[in-house]
């Protein structure tokens, strides 16, 4: 059996939802359908999840929500009309949204966001199941309440082992299951959403739970490209990619597949196929445990902004036992995770996602590192991007780092950080954000021009 996830663009309009139905009808092994909230219908459109975030923000600010709720409802009304569905379903969605607004009147900020955001996929799954039924497909909406069990706050939302046991029963369902992506419930019944883009994670959890033969992830591009198609013109298509390569690429900028969606399928070796709802006969990209990496050293190049560097220098740091641990402990106590820690004899840099920092935290960290670790110099710098060159074949290719550095030098950018050491499949560069796109284009030229895929 196959589990199919349809992203926001695939369920953005009635026309798109009709494509989803025919994709499911065309292959009897497509038994579980995971859906996102309606996404963008065109580049200037707003995703329903973002409209719901507006509603949540208004609730928190104690401002009127009626216009904002109306904008959400309008999307469902348009879709219901285009699908020929009874407007009763829109009444049901309106009541659901009003009830959620009441339920969160005195709730914490996190709960307000979670409950409102999750309604996007929940109501869409109900509507899509109703549409499937209306055209004679035996289908049933299933709530994440019936098995998608997640951990408690404050840790980031993740499915716990109980979820896999409970959801495995879906493999015996007689009907096609329509399951909303993006959220689950704790054992105490608390709703929690995954990170943005998290419907990919729901699909992966279900694929693992039922032991699917394939996890199909439908989006709006024919395949995963070797670089972001919005930056590089007509990048090479990736036909096959390993889990490790995909993990590295989706970590930094390959927004087409969420990096947390790999873990559940990797554990069971379930292959993933990224496909296009608008062109389902295209073979797409296959993500698999292993592949022949002899043809090309580099598989893809990704880039992501929003990084900060904490730089610490102290003479004879290399001889001081426990210096790194104490430094990282200070970050841990501030609730900060880190990405890389390149170091020299007397210096260490810690690369951090900037959204975790604020002025007060930074000042506390600077003060503690100075006073408790007796650092000679400590500072934060912001506005960096990470560029990651990825390929299973890289370890066999000499001079690759030199070629990458030369390509970056052509843009005039200074390399602030290089990290190759531990990962066998990636080479990362920290650079000033303003050079990101130019570097991506230069690196693409360096590794992909004049080579056939």
Ligand X SMILES: N[C@@H](CC(=O)OP(=O)(O)O)C(=O)O
Ligand Y SMILES: Nc1ncnc2c1ncn2[C@@H]1O[C@H](COP(=O)(O)OP(=O)(O)O)[C@@H](O)[C@H]1O
Query: Which of ligand Y, ligand X, none lies near 47, with the C-beta cut-off 5 to 8 A by kind?
Result: ligand X
For residue 154, cis peptide bond before it (omega within 30 degrees of 0): yes
Query: How large is the C-alpha radius of gyration of the chain?
Result: 24
If the CB atoms of residues 88 and 230 are measured against ligand X, the closer one turns out to be 230
Q: Is 197 in the site for ligand X (CB under 6 A)?
A: yes
Among 147, 198, 203, 300, binds ligand X (CB under 6 A): 198
Beta strands 240-242; 191-193: pairing state? unpaired
> Which residue sits closest to ligand Y, CB atoms considered?
7
166-205 mask for ligand Y (x: CB under 6 A)?
-------------------------------x--------
The region of 33-41, 61-69, 355-363, 369-377 touching ligand X under the rule CB under 6 A is 33-41
Q: Give burial (CB, 10 Å; 0-12/13-18/19+) of 265.
A: buried
The region of 252-260, 303-311, 388-396, 430-438 touching ligand Y under the rule CB under 6 A is 252-260
Q: Is 220 in the site for ligand Y (CB under 6 A)?
A: yes
Q: Is 41 in the site for ligand X (CB under 6 A)?
A: no
Q: Is 181 in the site for ligand X (CB under 6 A)?
A: yes
If the CB atoms of residues 113 and 380 are measured against ligand X, the closer one turns out to be 113
Query: Which of ligand Y, ligand X, none lies near 16, with the C-beta cut-off 5 to 8 A by kind?
Result: none
Query: Which of ligand Y, ligand X, none lies near 198, with the C-beta cut-off 5 to 8 A by kind?
Result: ligand X
C-alpha angle 23-25-27 in degrees, rounded to nearest 5: 80
**Residues within the interface to ligand X (CB under 6 A):** 7-8, 36-37, 39, 47, 49, 120, 181-182, 196-200
Annotated binding site: 5-8, 49, 121, 219-220
**Residues within the interface to ligand Y (CB under 6 A):** 7-10, 36, 39, 197, 219-221, 224-225, 227-230, 254-256
């Amino acid at each position: 059996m196959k589990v199919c996830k349809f992203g926001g663009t695939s369920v953005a309009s009635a026309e798109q939802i009709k494509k989803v139905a025919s994709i499911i009808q065309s292959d009897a092994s497509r038994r579980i359908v995971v859906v996102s909230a309606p996404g963008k219908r065109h580049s200037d459109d707003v995703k329903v999840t973002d409209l719901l975030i507006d509603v949540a923000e208004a609730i928190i600010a104690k401002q009127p929500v009626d216009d904002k709720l109306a904008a959400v409802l309008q999307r469902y009304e348009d879709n219901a009309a285009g699908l020929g569905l009874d407007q009763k379903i829109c009444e049901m969605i309106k009541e659901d949204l009003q009830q959620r607004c009441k339920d969160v009147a005195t709730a914490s900020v996190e709960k307000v966001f979670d409950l409102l955001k999750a309604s996007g996929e929940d109501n869409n799954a109900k509507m899509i199941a109703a549409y499937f039924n209306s055209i004679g497909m035996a289908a049933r909406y299933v709530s994440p309440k019936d098995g998608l069990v997640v951990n408690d706050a404050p840790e980031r939302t993740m499915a716990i082992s109980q979820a896999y046991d409970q959801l495995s029963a879906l493999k015996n369902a007689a009907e096609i299951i329509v399951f909303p992506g993006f959220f689950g419930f704790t054992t105490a019944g608390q709703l929690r959403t995954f990170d943005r883009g998290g419907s990919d994670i729901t699909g992966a959890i279900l694929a693992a739970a039922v032991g699917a033969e394939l996890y199909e992830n439908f989006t709006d591009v024919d395949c995963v490209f070797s670089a972001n198609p919005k930056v590089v013109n007509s990048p090479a298509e990736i036909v096959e990619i390993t889990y490790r390569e995909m993990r590295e690429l989706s970590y930094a900028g390959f927004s087409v597949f969420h990096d947390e969606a790999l873990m559940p399928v990797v554990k069971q070796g379930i292959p993933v196929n990224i496909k296009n709802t608008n062109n389902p006969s295209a073979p797409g990209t296959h993500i698999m445990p292993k592949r022949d990496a002899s043809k090309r050293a580099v598989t893809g190049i990704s880039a992501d902004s929003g990084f900060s560097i904490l730089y610490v220098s102290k003479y004879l740091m290399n001889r001081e036992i426990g210096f790194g641990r104490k430094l990282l402990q200070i970050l841990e106590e501030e609730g900060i995770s880190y990405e890389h820690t390149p170091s020299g004899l007397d210096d260490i840099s810690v690369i951090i996602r900037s959204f975790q920092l604020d002025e007060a935290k930074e000042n506390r960290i600077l003060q503690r590192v100075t006073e408790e670790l007796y650092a000679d110099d400590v500072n934060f710098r912001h506005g960096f991007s990470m560029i990651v060159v990825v390929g299973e074949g890289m370890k066999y290719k000499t001079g690759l780092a030199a070629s990458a550095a030369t390509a970056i030098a052509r843009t005039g950018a200074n390399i602030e950080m290089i990290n190759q050491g531990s990962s066998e499949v990636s080479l990362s560069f920290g650079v000033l954000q303003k050079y990101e796109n130019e570097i991506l284009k230069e690196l693409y030229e360096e590794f992909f021009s004049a080579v056939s895929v």
